[in-house]
Amino acid sequence: MQNGKEYFKEFMKTTKEKVRDYKSKHMWTARSLEYYLLFVLVVLVVIYVFDYLNLIHTEPTSALYMLSALVQSQAAIVAIVITLTLIAVQLTASAYSPRVIRIFRDYPDMWILLCFYGFSIFLGLLVLKMIRSAEDSSQIVIFNISLESSIIFVYALGISTFAILFLYLRIIMNLVTSENIINRLAIEITRDKILNPKEDPIQPIMDIIHSSIMKYDLETTRVGLRAVTDRAIRIFEAEIIDSNSEKEISGHFCKHLVRVGKLAISKLDEESAIEVIENLEIFGKSAAEIGRDDAKLRALNSLENLKRTATEKGLREVAAIAALSYTEVREGVSILR
């Protein structure tokens, strides 16, 4: 019985990880599917409720006013939501880095929401135009569908757009957190982009870390450093990299961490400086384990650089931790050799 529970927990954990990976790799498909399923579910429920309560028959005059109010309210809501989203983007960019704007630009949720609202509004306007208060609505047909059925469908669409608004707000509120922004930016850190001199995928996260150190936001600093370190380790573990590329990638990564470490030391922020040292140690040990000699040497040089800087600033504890990390990485290298 116990083994069954453990197997089920492991299965659920593996499934969640696979779903998370799929969403990150196929974001447009996954998001569109989420919105579409919720949209269809609400439409079907609303139509069933209308049918159950015997509300299918619609008097043309009342439908005229109801549809007019529905279309106007949808237009007002989508305008307010988009305005607030743009304000959130501006505030997030000013709080972290202007480079995070492209996250919102590439995120599909706002565009999917606009498509659903646009479809619902324009369909509502089309049905609204077909209504004639002096005629029997059951005799009017739009696209081989009776006007009464079209009116009920537009009502269902309107309620569905309000429903997906809750999903949209939940996703956007999660997106503006520093951890999610950093994780989205970290996905862009790949071997090819690092080797491309025209772009630096690490710099947007470094901008957030620099800003966090200036505000003594240790948690954001920790998340950013860990995300960059994990991506660097993953590149070396998963990619086939020649010696020149190894030197360039490891040097690029260590250069950024040394710059952050020196900023933390100059601000006398010992905790942030220690976080940088710990991530350099993790990177150095990982490089040693997989036999990346140039990468581990870069990590050792960076630790030595930070130890010297901390000593000059009088941060003895930081210097001692850097020296200890240097020794551990170096001894790990000698054992493997």
* pLDDT tens digits along 2-35: 456 666 566 566 666 666 666 666 777 888 888 8
Mapped onto helix, strand or coil, the DSSP state of residue 143 is coil
Asked if pLDDT for residue 229 goes beyond 90, the answer is yes
Residue 141 has φ and ψ, to the nearest 5°, of: -125, 135
Asked if pLDDT for residue 286 goes beyond 70, the answer is yes
pLDDT digits (tens, 9 = 90+) for 102-135: 888 888 888 988 998 999 899 888 888 777 544 5
The C-alpha atoms of residue 188 and residue 194 are separated, in whole angstroms, by 9
Residue whose C-alpha is closest to residue 264's, from 251, 278, 253: 278
What is the predicted pLDDT for the residue at 57?
64
The C-alpha atoms of residue 252 and residue 235 are separated, in whole angstroms, by 13
pLDDT digits (tens, 9 = 90+) for 291-303: 888 888 899 999 9
Average pLDDT estimate for 147-164:
82
201, HSE (Cβ side, Cα atoms, 13 Å) = 22
Residue 224 — pLDDT band, cuts 50, 70, 90? very high
What is the predicted pLDDT for the residue at 139?
47
Residue whose C-alpha is closest to residue 314's, from 280, 273, 276, 277: 273
Contacts by 29-38, CB closer than 8 A, 24 or more apart: 31/108, 31/109, 31/112, 31/171, 32/108, 32/112, 34/167, 35/109, 35/112, 35/113, 35/116, 35/164, 35/167, 38/160, 38/163, 38/164, 38/167
What is the predicted pLDDT for the residue at 65?
83
Residue 306 — pLDDT band, cuts 50, 70, 90? very high
Asked if pLDDT for residue 215 goes beyond 50, the answer is yes
pLDDT higher for 91 or 226?
226
Distance between start and end Cα atoms, the chain:
46
pLDDT digits (tens, 9 = 90+) for 53-98: 776 666 667 778 888 888 999 999 999 998 988 888 888 888 777 7
Residue 239 — pLDDT band, cuts 50, 70, 90? low
Q: For Cα atoms 97, 102, 108, give the angle at the middle one, nearest 5 degrees.
A: 135
Domain spans of the chain, in order of start: 2-176, 179-336
The C-alpha atoms of residue 239 and residue 254 are separated, in whole angstroms, by 18
Residue with tokens 């370190």: 229
Cα–Cα distances in Å, from 180 out to 21, 104, 156? Answer: 14, 12, 33
Residue whose C-alpha is closest to residue 121's, from 66, 163, 75, 63: 75
28: tokens are 């447009």
